[in-house]
Amino acid sequence: MAQRPKARCDVVVIGAGYSGLYALHKLRDRMGLDVIGLEAAADVGGTWYWNRYPGARCDIESIHYSYSFDEQLQLDWSWSERYSAQPEILAYLNHVADRFDLRRNYRFGTRVTSMEWDDDAGRWRVDTDDGDEIAARFVVAGTGNVSIPKEPEFAGLESFAGPMYATHAWPHSEPDLTGQRVGIIGTGASGIQAIPKLAERAGHLTVFQRTPNFATPLRNRPSDPEEVAATKANYSAVRAAARNSFLGVPYARAEHSALEVTPEHRRQTYDRGWRTGGFAILVESYTDLLVDEQANDTVAEYTRERIRERVTDPAVAELLCPDDHAFGTKRLPMETGYYETFNRDNVTLVDVKPNPIEAVTPTGLRLTDGTEYELDVLVLATGFDAFTGALTRMGIVGRDGQKLNDVWAAGPVSYLGLMTNGFPNLFTITGPGAAVALYNNPLAIEDHVDLATTVLQHMLDNGHETIEPDAQAQAAWREELNQRAHATLFPRANSWYMGANIPGKPRVVMMYVGAAAEYRATCADVVDDDYRGFDFNRAAPSRTPPCSSRG
Ligand code: NAP
């Protein structure tokens, strides 16, 4: 492999999704720093580059699931649907890259293979699979929370004779499934979006379900020009309202406990949420759905009733009704015609909970009891090594040779989800411990990039060389994450929120459970209180050469 010349820069930004693109723009164009972007994919888009399976679309309304940092950008761009499909979101991110001329700083098709902090130089040495070696004073990792797939656990996977597709890496040219016997494993948000579309295209679709999920109707429709005009006339107020709402979407605020109202009141409320679609039923209905099991039971049972109404075969309906977790404590998928899909003649639901998949065979799947399913095509929608997967695969070595993987062996630790003690000048955008999974991602990302760049500007203004959180602040943040989460029903579910979807992964609270406004207030308070909890110059290098151009 031809070795490229060693490069130097102020900041390496990893990733060209929502996080990386905004970070690169802000660092380069607003702060005047020398930035190199690294991206494993051939182009921009992040999750929306890779997840191009049939049915992939956002489930936060597009007018909210978009950048707010540039007024003219949000006024100029128009979404064709209430919830845009993957191609339109990817087109948007391409538009952003073009508009702000972001591609020129990126090296695409380049994956970080290792990153080592050099205390003497006060630099990260970043190595890539292209043979790049970059010395950077700061690294901003915009590597995403659900970007690295879960390793498939099925024996014999390589023996399958037909094509195998994964939702997280769907081919760029759409496979022709006409007349094919297709099997899909996984009924999370990806599977629930893909299954109705695959059923329309396949000869026969067999859905291998281990655990049913609560899913609520998406209620997608073309954008309403009047609504769009009203939003655009008032976009900054809309964004402020979003940032002050749970989930980062300006849903109406719930006011009552589900247990202080009558069954009729609950029925009307849940009907309204069900008709509205999206997260409305979870967020707008009652204050205690995520903290009180009895309250949660009311919305869980309401949802099971809707499932039973929509699925004609009662036995199939029962299989689709979740009973192992509280409503909304696993990431709620949104559906369009999902339940009716199981009324089709060409769709079979197979419960692999009592009878797990034993092996993939050359001709299909075999279950533990020996039942074989013949398949032409196999689709995996088996999820992600969430929160930590991308960061623990980059070979990150911090101060004194500490490996991030060792420091995080019992679960990730961080301060504000932004930095980890022992890893100076490394910013993890919406990293583990940040407000992200319960916060509309583009806004969560903007907030976190803004926090990182505020810290960075402070360092530049004050001549600081390094920053990292102190161990006490980090321990206190872990405690806060635990306390917040354990005051809710979230930790009880076997979800990727808890790392529970990956065999052997430590089961810990991986995210900030709370409203975005509270998290943002905490971050603002830290900044105002002279960057409380951060150590500056702890790992100060003996000599830090000035940043120069590459070469
Ligand atoms: P997921 O929610 O983790 O679902 C993975 C599915 O695969 C589950 O049904 C799981 O069953 C099944 N599975 C995994 N290993 C299995 C095994 N060995 N045998 C049988 N079944 C197995 O993953 P996802 O659907 O890709 O969604 C992940 C997240 O990505 C979402 O929660 C969401 O945040 C994001 N996403 C968002 C959208 C959107 O609309 N914006 C769309 C797609 C994804 P068990 O539950 O039994 O483990």
The partner residues of 118 in beta bridges, in order of sequence, read 123
Pick from 57, 198, 210, 319 the residue to mutate for probing ligand 1's pocket: most ligand atoms within 8 Å of its CB.
210
* Tokens describing residue 267: 């029925």
Is residue 169 in contact with ligand 1, taking CB distance under 6 Å? no
Measured at the alpha carbon of residue 524, what is the angle toward residues 519 and 528, in degrees to the nearest 5? 150
Of residues 523 and 550, more confidently modeled: 523
Q: Decide: helix, strand or coil at residue 37.
A: strand
Q: Give residues with Cβ within 8 angstroms of 414, minimum separation 6.
A: 420, 428, 431, 432, 433, 434, 469, 474, 477
Is residue 284 in contact with ligand 1, taking CB distance under 6 Å? no
CA of 318 to the centre of ligand 1 (A): 20
pLDDT of residue 539: 65
What is d(CA 299, CA 329) in angstroms, rounded to the nearest whole number?
Answer: 12
What is this structure's pTM?
0.96
pLDDT of residue 2: 52
> In this structure, what are the phi and psi dihedrals at residue 417, rounded to the nearest 5 degrees?
75, 5
The residue whose CA is least distant from atom 28 of ligand 1 is 383
* Res. 4 pLDDT band, cuts 50 70 90: low
Atom of ligand 1 nearest to the CA of 352: 20
Q: Is the pLDDT of residue 303 over 80?
A: yes
| pLDDT, tens digit, 9 for 90 and up, residues 15-43 | 999 999 999 999 999 999 999 999 999 99
Question: In b/e form, how buried is each residue of 38-74, taking b as 16+ CB within 10 angstroms?
Answer: bbbbeebbbbbbbbbbbbbbbbbbbbbbbbbbeeebb
pLDDT of residue 64: 97
The residue whose CA is least distant from atom 23 of ligand 1 is 383
Is residue 212 in contact with ligand 1, taking CB distance under 6 Å? no
- When mean pLDDT is compared across 114-118, 273-277, 538-542, the lowest value belongs to 538-542
Q: Is the pLDDT of residue 545 over 60?
A: no
* Tokens describing residue 242: 């979003």
Q: What is the mean pLDDT of the chain?
A: 96
Is residue 501 in contact with ligand 1, taking CB distance under 6 Å? yes
Q: Which of 79, 40, 37, 41 is nearest to 60 (CA)?
A: 79
Sheet holding 364-367, edge to edge: 357-361, 364-367, 372-374
What does the radius of gyration of the chain's CA atoms come to, in whole angstroms? 24
Fill in the DSSP letter of residue 136: E
Q: Is the pLDDT of residue 137 over 50?
A: yes
CA of 145 to the centre of ligand 1 (A): 13
| pLDDT, tens digit, 9 for 90 and up, residues 473-496 | 999 999 999 999 999 999 999 999
The residue whose CA is least distant from atom 33 of ligand 1 is 189
The mean per-residue pLDDT over the stretch 70-96 comes to 98
Q: Which of 37, 19, 34 is nearest to 103 (CA)?
A: 37
pLDDT of residue 289: 98
Is residue 211 in contact with ligand 1, taking CB distance under 6 Å? yes
In percent, how much of the chain has pLDDT > 90?
95
Is residue 341 in contact with ligand 1, taking CB distance under 6 Å? no
* Res. 3 pLDDT band, cuts 50 70 90: low
Is residue 357 in contact with ligand 1, taking CB distance under 6 Å? yes
What is d(CA 338, CA 202) in angstroms, rounded to the nearest whole number?
Answer: 15
pLDDT of residue 275: 98
| CA dist list (Å): 139 to 8, 497, 547 | 12, 25, 14
Is residue 352 in contact with ligand 1, taking CB distance under 6 Å? yes
What is d(CA 518, CA 258) in angstroms, rounded to the nearest whole number?
Answer: 24
Atom of ligand 1 nearest to the CA of 185: 21
Beta carbons of 531 and 466 less than 8 angstroms apart: no
Atom of ligand 1 nearest to the CA of 191: 25
The residue whose CA is least distant from atom 3 of ligand 1 is 383
Q: Is the pLDDT of residue 369 over 60?
A: yes
pLDDT of residue 551: 27
| pLDDT, tens digit, 9 for 90 and up, residues 390-426 | 999 999 999 999 999 999 999 999 999 999 999 999 9
What is d(CA 180, CA 183) in angstroms, rounded to the nearest whole number?
Answer: 10
Q: Is the pLDDT of residue 511 over 80?
A: yes
Q: Is the pLDDT of residue 248 over 90?
A: yes
The residue whose CA is least distant from atom 45 of ligand 1 is 211
pLDDT of residue 546: 41
Atom of ligand 1 nearest to the CA of 153: 18
Q: Helices 441-462 and 18-25: crossing angle, nearest 10°?
A: 30
What is d(CA 149, CA 381) in angstroms, rounded to the nearest whole number?
Answer: 9
What is d(CA 500, CA 484) in angstroms, rounded to the nearest whole number?
Answer: 18
What is d(CA 235, CA 63) in angstroms, rounded to the nearest whole number?
Answer: 9
Q: Is the pLDDT of residue 541 over 90?
A: no
| CA dist list (Å): 323 to 51, 296, 300, 320 | 29, 12, 9, 9
pLDDT of residue 543: 44
CA of 307 to the centre of ligand 1 (A): 19
Q: Decide: helix, strand or coil at residue 451.
A: helix
pLDDT of residue 469: 97
Is residue 145 in contact with ligand 1, taking CB distance under 6 Å? no
Q: Is the pLDDT of residue 549 over 70?
A: no
The mean per-residue pLDDT over the stretch 254-270 comes to 98
Q: Decide: helix, strand or coil at residue 156.
A: coil
Atom of ligand 1 nearest to the CA of 168: 26
pLDDT of residue 538: 82
| pLDDT, tens digit, 9 for 90 and up, residues 435-470 | 999 999 999 999 999 999 999 999 999 999 999 999
Is residue 125 in contact with ligand 1, taking CB distance under 6 Å? no
* Tokens describing residue 148: 């690295």
The residue whose CA is least distant from atom 36 of ligand 1 is 189
Q: Which residue has the tokens 């006409």?
A: 178
* Tokens describing residue 409: 């062996």
What is d(CA 442, CA 317) in angstroms, rounded to the nearest whole number?
Answer: 35
Atom of ligand 1 nearest to the CA of 437: 34
Q: Is the pLDDT of residue 547 over 50?
A: no
Pick from 501, 502, 510 the residue to mutate for probing ligand 1's pocket: most ligand atoms within 8 Å of its CB.
501
